């Protein structure tokens, strides 16, 4: 059986963002670039069967995608008029340039340009984040819709409108000048955070973690840290991701089963990443009121530095969640705070907060609301109610590892 389909799938997971970003640099048109990249992957399925998988699939795909895009522009009789305006002097001879093997190491700058393009303030915030997750990060539209708690057709329509607005407004494909960064930075940080969250616990599929997404998010956060070394929220975001990344090896058992935090083997945690995260948190909390990423990073570091689950500084975590709710009044934050409250004041107190969130309605369809409620009810010995809540969580989950975990909890409740 040919291994080409798997090689193409692996290249899609690892290289999509790089290939698309490099192609948009040529076209300055998102639809044209996306079509050209998709065609390149189709061509790979055919060509690699006869020629073999190239040693550098990303470079091969980028060269083919850019050539596809160039052909589309030529057929539209726009190349002659647009080329001098679109390209810098180093790419004036694009006919020759597309024949040169692309150096993947040079592409992360293109990827960052594309992120800032998608996060232009002319777009609505949710459109900025969703479009970047789709185009730059290769996250599927159904998974983005789930992250935003909206139906898939609604999200698909938002993505289409956002791409059309970028084209109509002639939004430039570039990292903004320093003075223009602040209006876009929070959206960019939100994108990287959501990308990591999507990889950290995949919304669907057979595995809990999508390594290529978490690695991409950490890479982007490090790039932003280099671009903006004095920005405290950038430091906070990177610290948050590293604190979570440090614990990743212990989140599942040897057979792939999801493990709760209190059942994880802390000897597997990466202490060097925890130490780096802690340094970033200190930087993020120094010099003024903390932002939402700095506070989340501080919470993550408290978890990562605790010698055991019982030794976790839960009162301090509740205090940090209180501060986080003031700067970022999100129902998801309130749900996470309820878990910490249960460790300080007991599950009854936390259930009162869960009831308020259920009445609020913004987390309808969010699988972790009934899952959290089920665990609290289970701790109180209210097994029948816990079982009902576990079933509600199961109905909302599309991830096999989560489903197996919830089934196990349901069977033992």
3-state helix, strand, coil in the chain (%, to 5): 75, 0, 25
Cα–Cα distance measured from residue 206 to residue 392, given in angstroms and rounded to the nearest whole number: 20
Which pLDDT belongs to residue 213?
84
DSSP 178: G
Q: Name 258's bridge partners.
A: 252
Output the six-digit token pair for 87: 């390209």
Which pLDDT belongs to residue 77?
55
- The answer to whether residues 53 and 7 touch, using CB atoms and an 8 Å cutoff, is yes
- The answer to whether residues 122 and 171 touch, using CB atoms and an 8 Å cutoff, is yes
Which pLDDT belongs to residue 338?
97
Q: Name 399's bridge partners.
A: 205
* Nearest Cα residue to 410 out of 380, 392, 389, 387: 387
Cβ neighbors of 138 (< 8 A, separation 6 or more) are 12, 13, 16, 17, 20
Output the six-digit token pair for 391: 């079933």
Which pLDDT belongs to residue 76?
66
Q: 288: phi > 0 → left, psi -120 to 50 → alpha, else beta; which?
A: left
What Cα–Cα distance (Å) separates residue 133 from each residue in 34, 206, 215, 219? 14, 21, 14, 15
Which pLDDT belongs to residue 2?
67
Work out whether the CA dihedral 34, 111, 208, 310 comes out positive or negative.
Answer: negative
What Cα–Cα distance (Å) separates residue 55 from each residue in 16, 17, 112, 398? 17, 19, 25, 35
pTM of the predicted structure, to 2 decimals:
0.79
Which pLDDT belongs to residue 109?
61
Cα–Cα distance measured from residue 56 to residue 12, given in angstroms and rounded to the nearest whole number: 13
Helices (H), 119-270: 125-135, 141-148, 152-168, 182-200, 211-227, 232-246
What Cα–Cα distance (Å) separates residue 223 from each residue in 20, 112, 137, 198, 283? 18, 8, 15, 19, 17
Which pLDDT belongs to residue 96?
43
**pLDDT in 10s for each residue of the chain, 413 residues:** 468 888 988 888 778 888 888 888 888 788 888 889 999 999 999 999 989 999 899 889 999 999 998 888 877 655 455 544 444 444 434 444 444 444 444 445 677 778 888 888 888 888 888 888 888 777 788 888 887 878 899 999 989 888 888 888 888 777 777 677 777 888 889 889 988 998 888 877 778 888 888 988 898 899 889 888 999 999 999 999 999 999 999 998 888 888 999 999 999 999 999 999 999 999 999 989 999 999 999 999 999 999 999 899 999 999 999 999 999 999 999 999 999 999 999 999 999 999 999 999 999 989 999 999 999 999 999 999 999 999 999 999 988 889 998 998 988 87
């Amino acid at each position: 059986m040919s291994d080409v389909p798997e090689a193409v799938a692996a290249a899609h997971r690892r290289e999509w963002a790089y290939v698309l970003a490099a192609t948009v640099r040529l076209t300055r048109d998102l639809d044209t670039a996306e079509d050209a990249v998709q065609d390149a992957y189709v061509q790979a399925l055919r060509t690699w069967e006869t020629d073999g998988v190239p040693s550098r699939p990303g470079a091969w795909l980028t060269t083919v995608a850019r050539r596809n895009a160039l052909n589309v522009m030529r057929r539209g009789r726009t190349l002659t008029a647009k080329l001098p305006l679109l390209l810098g002097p180093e790419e004036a001879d694009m006919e020759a340039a597309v024949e040169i093997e692309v150096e993947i190491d040079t592409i992360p700058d293109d990827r960052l340009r594309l992120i800032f393009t998608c996060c232009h303030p002319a777009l609505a915030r949710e459109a900025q984040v969703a479009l970047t997750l789709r185009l730059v990060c290769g996250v599927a539209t159904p998974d983005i819709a789930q992250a935003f708690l909206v139906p898939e057709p609604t999200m698909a329509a938002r993505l289409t409108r956002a791409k059309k607005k970028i084209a109509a407004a002639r939004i430039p494909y570039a990292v903004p000048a320093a003075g223009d960064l602040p209006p876009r930075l929070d959206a960019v940080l939100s994108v990287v955070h959501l990308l990591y969250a999507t990889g950290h616990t995949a919304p669907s599929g057979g595995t809990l973690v999508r390594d290529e997404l978490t690695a991409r998010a950490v890479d982007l956060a490090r790039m932003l840290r280099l671009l903006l070394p004095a920005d405290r929220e950038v430091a906070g975001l990177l610290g948050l991701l590293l604190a979570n990344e440090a614990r990743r090896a212990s989140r599942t058992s040897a057979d792939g089963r999801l493990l709760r935090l209190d059942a994880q083997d802390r000897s597997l945690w990466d202490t060097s990443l925890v130490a780096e995260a802690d340094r970033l948190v200190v930087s993020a909390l120094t010099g003024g009121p903390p932002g939402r990423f700095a506070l989340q990073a501080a919470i993550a570091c408290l978890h990562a530095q605790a010698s055991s689950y019982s030794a976790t500084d839960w009162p301090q975590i509740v205090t940090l969640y209180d501060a986080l709710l003031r700067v970022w009044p999100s129902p998801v934050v309130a749900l996470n705070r309820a878990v910490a409250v249960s460790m300080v004041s007991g599950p009854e107190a936390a259930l009162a907060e869960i009831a308020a969130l259920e009445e609020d309605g913004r987390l309808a369809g969010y699988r972790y609301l009934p899952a959290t409620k089920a665990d609290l009810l289970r701790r109180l010995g209210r097994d029948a109610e816990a079982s009902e809540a576990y079933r509600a969580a199961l109905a909302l989950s599309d991830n096999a590892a989560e489903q197996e975990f919830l089934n196990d909890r349901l069977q033992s409740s």
